[in-house]
Chain A
Amino acid sequence: MSNKEEEFVVGADGLDTDREKDIGQHIGYRYDVNLVPDLKFITPFLQKYIDKMGWKDLNWLEDVHMGYEEDQAAVFDRNINGWVTIPDSIKLPDNQQERDMIARELLIKFQMSENHPMVDLNNAYRKF
């Protein structure tokens, strides 16, 4: 096991299946892809976002979880096809559901920001 973030997500050795034991490494996503969200942990910002969008639950954010990149907690941004790292200054809870809600909130703030890489790409390549 290389670091504590990876250990938090995939367990002590990260090797569950026979195939993983055979090759000595974890295979698959860097988070529990099948974990359904627990809405009792929703943050006020996320509630404001889903109200604005007219949804009754987390909608696409149900598939957003906190994983890891290198040795730091991170969330995958599908709009840039890459991991976005959570700064060390943000203290993370030990509960995956709460961590996921933090990941969702940060991802929305990042995606909706004028600093997001999609803004430049949009300006450069948008056809209509």
Chain B
Amino acid sequence: MAKLKQDKSHEMGLHEEQLKGRTQQRFFSIDESENLTYFHSFDVDTSKSATIDALDMTPREINREIRALMEKGIGNITVDNPMSRHGVGVGILNRLNLTFSDSLGYFGCGLIDGPNVHIKGRVGWSCAENMMAGTVVIDGNAGSTFGAAIRGGDLVCKGSVGARTGIDQKGGTIIVGGKTGAFSGFMMQRGRMIILGDAGMNLGDSMYDGTIYVGGEVEDLGVDCVPGEMTELDIRYLTEKLGNYGMKAPNGVEKMQKYVSGKTLWNYDNLEPNEKKLIL
């Protein structure tokens, strides 16, 4: 019989805890300390800078070097010559200012939680997929599935983006300065998408919730995506948000069109088990 691996979690007793009869409800403690960063994050100083020349480095080496610099407390990192490599700048769960002096390939800056990233070029597919928090600003254009499954933070492309922007978006704000392709906001569940240019076919197809603002023309709407009513708070929010990135709606924020879910696809409820019984 195979022997179970005795790792650190066993030593910590995480496998001996009795879960039966315990509530999973958690309560805030009023006495929590006012720490501003994750307990496990590196304490970096944004006045300390370093540069990585990535010309002859593999993506793994680049990511390790970024991490090594953060461990040394450097909070301002520039990566020169990224050479459109895939999967760089990923998994950074820290406060950090990170600049790429040129374009990235696929899956750049995915799974990040906190850093402020500036890419002085273009990006390939799935930039900032599963992003949790922070900002990512791209000066050029972006490929398809831009911000796939993003959970939080601001993802900004000052140019145009490909198809299926924000597919499965679960939070955060995606801002596109130019046009966006077909099926943008597909299966969107939460968050905001701000498109200053035109949107391709099937915008917001099967969106469960969330909001899409469009400044240009929409080719057509997807299933269950319907026009919403723009409020004074929306206008104020959009003005502030776009102003943060030096962007403006071509015809003014007031002229932007808002789209929301029609909620006709909402079928998740307690009847489901009963319905299943009837069917079975």
Residues of A within 8 A of B (CB): 17, 19, 23, 25, 27-29, 33-34, 36-39, 45, 48-49, 52-57, 59-60, 62-63, 69-70, 77-78, 80, 82-87, 89-90, 106, 108-116, 118-120, 122-126
Instruction: Indicate whether B209 reaches chain A with its CB closer than 8 angstroms.
Output: yes
Question: What mask results when residues 182 to 216 of chain B are scored 1 for a CB within 8 Å of chain A, else 0?
Answer: 00000000111000000000000000011100000
Inter-chain CA distance A124–B16, complex, in Å, is: 14
Q: Which residue of A lies closest to B150 (CB)?
A: A60
A112 close to B38 (CB less than 8 A): yes
Q: Is the CB of B38 within 8 A of A87?
A: no
- Which residues of chain A are near B25, meaning CB under 8 Å? 69-70, 83, 85
Q: Is B46 an interface residue (CB 8 A)?
A: yes
Contacts of B154 in A (CB 8 A): 59
Q: Are A114 and B269 in contact (CB under 8 A)?
A: no
B153 at interface, CB cutoff 8 A: yes
A106 to B30, CA, bound (A): 9
Given A82-B24, A109-B32, A120-B14, decide whether A29 and B269 contact each other with a Cβ distance below 8 A. no
* Residue from the list A17, A39, A115, A119 in contact with B40, Cβ < 8 A: A119
Cα(A16)–Cα(B32), bound, Å = 39
Q: How far is the CA of A45 from the CA of B97 in the complex (A)?
A: 22
A80 surroundings in chain B (CB, below 8 A): 26
B143-177: which have CB < 8 Å to A? 151-154, 171-173
